[in-house]
Structure 1
Amino acid sequence: MNRYPRVVIDLHKVEMNTKLLVEKCSSNNLSIMGVTKAFCAEPRVVEAMVKGGISYIADSRIDNIKKVAEYQVPKVLLRLPMKSEIDDLVRLVDISLNSEIETIRAIDVAAGKLERIHKIILMVELGDLREGILPEDLRTVVDEVVKLDNISLAGLGVNLTCYGGVIPSEGNLGELLNLAEVIKKEYGINLEIISGGNSSSLYLIDEGRMPEGINNLRLGEAILLGRETAYGERVEGASSDSYVLEAEIIELKSKPSIPTGEIGMDAFGNKPQFEDRGVRRRAILAVGRQDIDPDGLIPRDPNITVIGASSDHLIMDVEESENNYEIGDILSFDLEYGALLKAMTSNYIGKDFIEK
């Protein structure tokens, strides 16, 4: 018997999405870092991405990178390293993204003890206001980096869209290339990686506007959900249903659409708002905010809608569905990225795999 709630992962679709994107990027001289954090680096999904042709395995957490140590593919730590994890970093990771010279010095010391050279990509702040060195401060950092014995400056990178929503453009990616050219001229370093962002940069390829010299993208959502993230458009030819959430109905009743009594805060400190739609048929599913983001669920039955959720319950309006649902029936949902991230992280959601 299947365990519910569960996420069903189609490994073949993940592999095919990866191949499609590898071909798209390689035709524009771009390698791909396959971002594995959304599914906690589950080895079977990583295997599908490796088969699809990714050049690097990239994750934000050392614990996830430990799961995929067996793969002979360079490992990249995406989140800036914590000083407390540097010993593991130099043992397990080939390349890390950095913006703090103090941390880089500590990596140099740890790498020296193991007689290793650790590669770094310096992240540059180009408007999104997450991690990154301000462009005017980059030379100061590089001045110190080139003096370190166990650090190799492998490249420059930029994060866009993830925090501030700033869209990659010929302008900001061109600025990244200009900084790489400065490093080449002033320090004689021909950087091997110029990483121009994530799935939000893909639209530049489609429009023929990806600046020449950007040679790497860090792709997660585009591979997993078949979507670019600048405008939320589908990647042509990619599957958007590699991941499907299934959850079981535990209550079916017709109830008013507005609560009775004075409205205060809900379990998450918000004061909810309700629309009076009369008495409606409602289904409660055995999954909640501890496991998923209800706003990121797309019901596969087009005639039902998500009303809301508490920690452990997802409440659906099924009044207009053509299906005569019963207790114990299973409802299926496609997932947006935030819902996928939470579902794959939750220990309370089963993970099942489709091989072909």
Structure 2
Amino acid sequence: MRKEYPCIDVNLSKVTHNAKQILSLCNKKGIDVIGVTKVFCAESPIVQAILDGGITDIGDSRIQNLKKMSNLSCRKTLLRISMESEAKEVVRYSDISLNSELDTIKTLAKAAKRLDKKHNIILMIDVGDLREGVLEEDAVAVVEEILKLDSISLIGLGTNVTCYGGVLPDKDNLGKLIRLKNEIKALCNIELPIISGGNSSSLYMVMDNTIPEGVNQLRVGEGIVLGRETSFGKLIPGCYDDAFILSGEIVEIKNKPTVPKGKIGMDAFGQKPSFEDKGIRKRAIVAIGRQDIKVDGLIPLDNNISIFGASSDHLILDVTDSTRHLKVGDIIDFKMDYGCLLAAMTSYYVKKYYEEELALASMS
């Protein structure tokens, strides 16, 4: 098969392997895993690879992606706080949604009643990261109001850290969820079965056995697709970090200076660039750019290649030290960080290929 470039090769076997490893790691601590599909736009081969790894709950932040998965029998969770304007679709396409606004929850209750359904929600608590969530001191009052709604079932508490404020999950902030669960049980006479203790950033606590007892759910995306926890960027034991490889084609290769000639103004993105004079270097241009990728999230597989920069459509590389005799038409491969993968998988211009039966290389 002749490939189109730029493209991403997805090793589905490695995705399944990572899902199995993380599920096993978490299950040993009594923790269930929601496989988060948003970074790859819920593309069905990758969703199935996660399910093949034994994960039975899927989560996504976009209703459009949950619609794509409506034929799957797994439990589905809407991860982004619900919009009132999409309440009907939230109830129709998700089994559970994360919520923090009482007015929106009331709107969901009305939609659920019209659809003759009971909709499950997890109430998000802000433990310090200052993204979504009710404040701890307001939680009981909000719960009391939720319990008045016939078509809503409150099934748990959750939180999110590291995504906005960079606050790390720890025993103290995740412990707040456990204390609040006990307080709600005492004051409201309700048992909340789910304590959702964050995302891949909480995996380090599973790995070092410090996650508070009582946290019984994590929402894991990056851990599965890139094989690492996200608080410190450590690889998860037994997982692969190369299940997704981006490839681009060289369209120009020339020896050029490293400092432009002329008066420097703003670039195409409104920034005034600066340059280090490294003399004459062999520069390769690859046909991919900022419209498709997050440039600082690219990691060339060839350690002797470095990145000068990029425009909307062109990625400029320093290939002087590469041992390959590169020429126009050759392909350069990259690993990616989460932000780069998110952009590339979302890009219409990046072709996706799914490898279903690749032999797994020995773990390095």
Q: TM-score range by the shorter chain?
A: over 0.9
Paired position in structure 2 for 1:335: 336
Paired position in structure 1 for 2:361: none
Matched residue of 2:335: which SS?
A: strand
Paired position in structure 1 for 2:20: 19
Are 1:299 and 2:300 matched, yes or no? yes
1:132, 1:186 → 2: CA distance? 20
Paired position in structure 2 for 1:236: 237
Paired position in structure 2 for 1:140: 141
| Amino acid in the other structure paired with 2:318 | D
Matched residue of 1:253: which SS?
A: strand
Per-residue CA deviations over 1:131-172 (Å, capped at 9, x if unaligned) read 010001111211110000000001000001111111100010
**TM-score, structure 1 length as denominator?**
0.99
Per-residue CA deviations over 1:283-319 (Å, capped at 9, x if unaligned) read 0000000000110010011100011010000000001
Paired position in structure 1 for 2:55: 54
| Amino acid in the other structure paired with 1:205 | V
2:79, 2:117 → 1: CA distance? 20
Paired position in structure 2 for 1:67: 68
**After the TM superposition, which segments of 4 or more aligned residues of structure 1 sit over 4 Å from their partners?**
none
**TM-score, structure 2 length as denominator?**
0.97
Are 1:193 and 2:194 matched, yes or no? yes
1:87, 1:208 → 2: CA distance? 40
| Amino acid in the other structure paired with 2:127 | L
Matched residue of 1:282: which SS?
A: strand
Q: CA deviation at 1:55?
A: 3.0
Per-residue CA deviations over 1:187-212 (Å, capped at 9, x if unaligned) read 12111110000111111112111111
Unaligned runs of 5+ in 1: none
Paired position in structure 1 for 2:40: 39
| Amino acid in the other structure paired with 1:336 | D
Matched residue of 1:124: which SS?
A: strand
Matched residue of 1:303: which SS?
A: coil
| Amino acid in the other structure paired with 1:284 | I
Matched residue of 2:234: which SS?
A: coil
Paired position in structure 2 for 1:116: 117
2:201, 2:115 → 1: CA distance? 37
CA contact (8 A) 1:15 1:51 kept: yes
Q: Percent identity?
A: 53
Unaligned runs of 5+ in 2: 358-364
Q: How does 1:164-179 map to 2 (within 5 A)?
A: 164-179=165-180
Matched residue of 2:239: which SS?
A: coil
1:188, 1:48 → 2: CA distance? 40
Per-residue CA deviations over 1:228-278 (Å, capped at 9, x if unaligned) read 000001111100000000000000011110011111111111111110000
The aligned length equals 356
Paired position in structure 2 for 1:205: 206
Paired position in structure 2 for 1:355: 356
Which stretch has the larger CA shift, 66-75 or 144-153?
A: 66-75
CA contact (8 A) 1:286 1:312 kept: yes
